[in-house]
Amino acid sequence: MFDWLQHFSDWLIYSVFEIGAQTHLGVALNFFVYDTIKILILLFVIVFLMGIVNTYFPIERLKEYLNKNKLYGLEYFFSSIFGAITPFCSCSSVPLFIGFVQGGIPLGVTFSFLITSPLVNEVAVAMFLGMFGIKATLIYAVSGILLGTLGGWILGKFNLEPLLSDWVKKILESKMQQAEYEEKKLTFYERLPEITQGAWDIVKGVLLYVIIGIAIGAAMHGYVPENFFNKYLGSGEWWTVPLAVIIAVPMYANAAGIVPVIQVFVAKGVPLGTAIAFMMATVGLSIPEATLLKKVMSLKLIAIFFGVVTIAIIISGFLFNSIL
Amino acid sequence: MSKVIKILGTGCPKCQSMTGVVSEVVSENNIEATIEKVEDIMEIMKYNVMTTPALVIDDVITIKGRVPSKDEVLNLLN
């Protein structure tokens, strides 16, 4: 699919700039040009497609669906899927959380949404697709959704409502009136310019991270010797998974910046499962998210939430490594 | 009659671009209106919105979760 782009990069670097295909610099530059363009195309296409999906499934409708249908335990799964298809913005997570709980959706089901939403987001999926191919992307997305389902279900088993902030509890008790809301329904064609604009905005927003991430990746690709990481952490020592996850949790790396670097780690010998677990912990949990959630949850609840998700990611890491 | 415009949002980039669009529309068309940014999450939740930014005109929520075009805002204000 991207053969033409490889030809273009070869031509640009080896023929136009006349940098040899045998030199480190040539390989690194070729990698950089090819990956940057490929990722930007994928990113735009996926964000655009997600924009279309979202016109048909606005979050309010998803909430109503979860609220009105008896799903016999499948509500965790659906909530997690909804989390995956809803565009993620960390600044929306608190309003979403309150909106869900206030709408009568159980806390555990809400957590399913909250876990998957940052974990499986359009930027992460596009980056994964570009750097690791379709198989790894499917594994990432499916396991992210399952992780959200299970995580929410486990959290739902605890009695966590008393651990919400006082003002959130008050909102829940008061069951306040739905504010008046008037928005005329726009047709698909009327929304198309806006979806396109939105996709451009996201691509522009992550452009810098993509370039920096790929530049670091390209540099490492050309200069780090093969199997370099094998010597230190690639040989599948059991503790490398928990270590990678625990390092990644507080990190707040943009998915766009981190994936190209992870790709090099994998190319140089780190097991794919460890890399996926690292990626999940980086985008799924972060200090800024915890700070935002502090407004609606007690520290204890945040700690339980992060703890359950961290353990789930570590277990998935082991699973990936034993299967892949 | 002066309109009261409120922009609900916790300060994400989209909220800032909505504020930009709305204030441009107001000043370019000499619309009598006050623009207020509501950034406090507790205040925002009083409007029961789940996606920010949201545009509230005279206490009616008109747009949520996306950045409108200038034309759309102008229509809503007229």
The CATH code of the domain that includes B12 is 3.40.30.10
Element containing residue A87 per DSSP (H, E) = none
Nearest chain B residue (CA) to A170: B42
Least confidently predicted of A57-71, A171-185, B30-44:
A171-185
Chain mean pLDDT for chain A: 82
Using a CB-CB cut-off of 8 Å, the residues of chain A touching B17 are 201
Q: Give yes or no for residue A178 having a pLDDT over 60.
A: no
Instruction: Return the closest-CA partner of residue A294 out of A279, A308, A306.
Output: A306
Q: Give yes or no for residue A304 having a pLDDT over 90.
A: yes
CB contact under 8 A, B61 and A179: yes
Tokens of A173: 């008790």
Whether chain A has a CB inside 8 Å of the CB on B19: the answer is no
Q: Tell me which residue in A96, A180, A201 faces B50 most closely, judged by beta carbons.
A: A96
Using a CB-CB cut-off of 8 Å, the residues of chain B touching A197 are 67
Whether chain A has a CB inside 8 Å of the CB on B26: the answer is no
Query: Listing from the earlier edge strand, what are the strands of the sheet with B60-64?
Result: B33-38, B3-8, B54-57, B60-64
Residue ranges making up the domain that contains B51: 3-77
Q: pLDDT band at A229, cuts 50/70/90?
A: low
The whole-number pLDDT of residue B74 equals: 86
Using a CB-CB cut-off of 8 Å, the residues of chain B touching A83 are none
Nearest CA of chain A to the CA of B27: how many Å?
Answer: 23
Q: pLDDT band at A180, cuts 50/70/90?
A: very low
> Can you tell me the mean pLDDT for A271-278?
88
Long-range contacts of B11-16 (CB under 8 A, 24+ apart): B11/A91, B11/B39, B12/A89, B12/A90, B12/A91, B12/A92, B12/B52, B12/B53, B13/A205, B14/A89, B14/B52, B14/B53, B14/B66, B14/B67, B15/A91, B15/B52, B15/B53
Strand, helix or coil at A20? coil
Q: pLDDT band at A155, cuts 50/70/90?
A: very high
> Can you tell me the mean pLDDT for A211-224?
81
Tens of pLDDT along A85-99?
A: 877 666 677 788 888
Percent of chain A scored above 90 by pLDDT? 16
Active site residue B15: yes
CB contact under 8 A, B51 and A91: no
Element containing residue B56 per DSSP (H, E) = strand B54-57
Using a CB-CB cut-off of 8 Å, the residues of chain B touching A178 are 48
First-to-last alpha carbon distance for chain A, in angstroms, is 25
Q: Buried b vs exposed e over A171-210: b needs ≥16 C-beta within 10 Å?
A: beeeeeeeeebeeeeeeeeebeebbeebbeebbeebeebb
ipTM: 0.72
> Can you tell me the mean pLDDT for A255-270?
83
Q: What is the DSSP string of A135-164?
A: HHHHHHHHHHHHHHHHHHHHHHHS--GGGB
Q: Tell me which residue in A179, A292, A296 faces B48 most closely, judged by beta carbons.
A: A179
CB contact under 8 A, A178 and B48: yes
State how many domains chain B has: 1
- Distance between CA B54 and CA A151 in Å, rounded? 30
Structure letter (DSSP) for residue A23: S
Tens of pLDDT along A279-291?
A: 899 888 888 788 8
Strand, helix or coil at A188? helix
Nearest chain A residue (CA) to B39: A91
CB contact under 8 A, B12 and A181: no
Tens of pLDDT along A118-142?
A: 888 888 888 889 888 898 899 899 9
The whole-number pLDDT of residue A147 equals: 95
Q: Could you give phi then psi for residue A253, rounded to 5 degrees?
A: -100, 140
Least confidently predicted of A47-51, A113-117, B20-24, B63-67:
B63-67
* Interface mutation target, options B17, B37, B51, chain A, most CBs of A under 10 Å: B51
Question: In tens digits, what is the pLDDT along chain B, a chain of 78 residues?
Answer: 688 898 888 777 778 888 888 898 888 888 888 888 888 877 887 787 777 788 888 888 888 877 888 888 888 887
